[in-house]
């Protein structure tokens, strides 16, 4: 059995070698909260050992972030972070890889005036749009992993003694990312091979539509012509493979922007903008959300849907079996990085260009003509369960089972 130090070493190596797959002479941009400094330092060392030319660390501090939202003047939230956008875009265009370590408190901005959060997200999204397009088009390698901050661990394990909460979350993370195995690199290669096989089977079928049924959900999702089922393992514009997030259990594609109709109900809380949105239902007509309710976070959901024209349309449809490691752990993580890999999910906002044949070579106008949604945001929400059934509808209208009882049929 591996000890904590060995698991942490494995985790850092996975992030560098499987996640961003750093290459000799390459720059790595590392984004993290100061709470994750221990892991950051280890990742930096691993990156240089793998041949990185420069590791640029961008630290944030959630206490400083909350203080700004509480005390800064309102007009400061309308200031575009152009200096940050210019730097990130330049680094990505010149081949830098980007690794983000997530450790945020899901309730960090609870009680903050919603307009401040919305203004920040809109202005930041507009300013960083060219950089985000580079990442979403896989022109640069990017990946995300997690670090268990005390606030996050307390949210996940509220019944545990405070001194045990972080250790419990570390154990759960190590297991979910296979860092507790002697050879996690090989384990990940086998796992990704399995996801690739799922994608190949779905791409062969070329379904025209998907029909979802579950308690509170009756939804039809039309798929654009030339759609591609993908998994988080991707290849950048220089031909280098990378893994966009660790862990991952999903296969996904893009829906036709105007082809989503019916009602869908969430099955797990969504952490968005430092607040929790839970127990929500969306009604869609011709792709657009025309009605919504939420048991918690109604204002946050309204802000998300009003972010821009595309934020009320779908940009991703993802399949995850109920009998998957993160789901079977029974742990609710309150962060999309983990919870989306325990449940089938959809995403409001932008579609990934690479989920369409030749999509990464198309202009924004060409992508729009092919039915790919565009938005400043991309927010996954969980809607799968053990009661979820999904049928694939062929061109001639034949329905074939894809999921039954939450699992592959």
Are 399 and 409 in contact by the 8 Å Cβ rule? The answer is no
Please give the Cα distance from 236 to 230 (Å, whole number): 14
pLDDT recorded at residue 382: 96
The closest alpha carbon to 338, from 162, 152, 195, 126, belongs to: 152
Give 10-residue mean pLDDT values along the chain (409 residues): 96 98 98 96 98 97 96 95 94 96 90 91 92 88 96 96 97 96 96 96 97 98 97 92 95 98 97 92 98 96 94 98 91 92 96 93 94 96 96 96 96
Sign of the dihedral through C-alpha 240, 246, 252, 254:
negative
As a whole number of angstroms, the distance between CA 121 and CA 372 comes to 22
Cα(404)–Cα(409) distance, integer angstroms:
5
Instruction: From residue 158, give the alpha-carbon distance in Å to each of 103, 164, 329, 386.
Output: 17, 10, 16, 25
Q: Give residue 138's pLDDT.
A: 87
Q: Helix 129-136 vs helix 114-127: angle between axes, to the nearest 10 degrees? A: 70
The C-alpha atoms of residue 77 and residue 87 are separated, in whole angstroms, by 20
Query: Of 27, 3, 386, 36, nearest to 238 (Cα)?
Result: 27
The kind and range of the H/E element at 252 are strand 251-253
pLDDT at 368: 96
Q: Give the bridge partners for 142, in sequence order.
A: 98
Q: Which two tokens stand for residue 238?
A: 């220089």
d(CA 31, CA 56): 9
Owner of token pair 């996940």: 156
Tell how far CA 369 is from the center of its chain.
25
Closest CA to 299 of 110, 162, 157, 124: 110
Supply the pLDDT for residue 137.
Answer: 83
What pLDDT is attached to residue 104? 77
pLDDT at site 324: 87
Residue 128 structure tokens: 């960083």
pLDDT at 273: 85
Q: For position 180, what pLDDT does the model report?
A: 96
Provide the whole-model pTM.
0.91
Predicted local confidence at residue 126, as pLDDT: 92
The 3-state DSSP class for residue 243 equals strand
Of 364, 335, 336, nearest to 351 (Cα)? 364
């Amino acid at each position: 059995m591996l000890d904590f130090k060995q698991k942490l070493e494995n985790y850092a190596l996975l992030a560098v070698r499987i996640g961003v797959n750093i290459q000799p002479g390459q720059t790595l941009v590392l984004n993290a909260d100061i709470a994750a400094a221990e892991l950051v330092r280890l990742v930096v060392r691993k990156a240089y050992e793998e041949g990185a030319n420069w590791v640029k660390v961008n630290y944030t501090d959630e206490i400083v972030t909350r203080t700004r939202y509480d005390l800064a003047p309102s007009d400061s939230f309308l200031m575009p972070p152009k200096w940050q956008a210019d730097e990130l875009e330049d680094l990505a265009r010149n081949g830098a890889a980007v690794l983000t370590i997530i450790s945020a408190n899901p309730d960090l901005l609870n009680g903050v005036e919603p307009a401040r959060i919305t203004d920040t997200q809109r202005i930041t999204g507009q300013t960083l749009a060219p950089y985000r397009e580079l990442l979403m088009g896989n022109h640069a390698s990017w990946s995300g992993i997690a670090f268990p901050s005390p606030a996050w661990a307390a949210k996940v394990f509220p019944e545990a003694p405070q001194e045990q909460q972080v250790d419990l979350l570390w154990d759960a993370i190590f297991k979910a990312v296979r860092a507790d195995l002697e050879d996690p690199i090989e384990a990940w290669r086998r796992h990704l091979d399995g996801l690739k096989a799922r994608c190949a089977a779905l791409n062969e079928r070329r379904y025209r539509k998907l029909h979802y049924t579950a308690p509170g959900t009756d939804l039809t999702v039309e798929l654009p012509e030339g759609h591609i089922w993908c998994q988080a393992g991707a290849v950048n514009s220089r031909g280098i493979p990378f893994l966009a997030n660790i862990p991952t259990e999903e296969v996904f594609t893009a829906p036709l922007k105007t082809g989503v109709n019916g009602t869908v109900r969430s099955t797990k809380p969504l952490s968005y903008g430092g607040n929790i949105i839970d127990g929500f239902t969306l009604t869609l007509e011709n792709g657009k959300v025309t009605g919504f309710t939420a048991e918690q976070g109604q204002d946050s959901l309204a802000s998300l849907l009003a972010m821009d024209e595309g934020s009320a349309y779908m940009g991703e449809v993802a399949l995850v079996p109920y009998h998957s490691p993160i789901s079977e752990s029974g742990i609710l993580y309150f962060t999309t990085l983990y919870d989306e890999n325990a449940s089938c999910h959809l995403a409001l906002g932008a579609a990934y260009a690479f989920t369409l044949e030749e999509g990464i070579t198309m202009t924004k106008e060409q992508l729009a003509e092919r039915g790919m949604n565009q938005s400043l945001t991309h927010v996954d929400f969980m809607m799968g369960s053990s009661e979820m059934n999904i049928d694939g509808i062929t061109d001639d209208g034949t329905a074939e089972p894809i999921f039954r009882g939450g699992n592959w049929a």
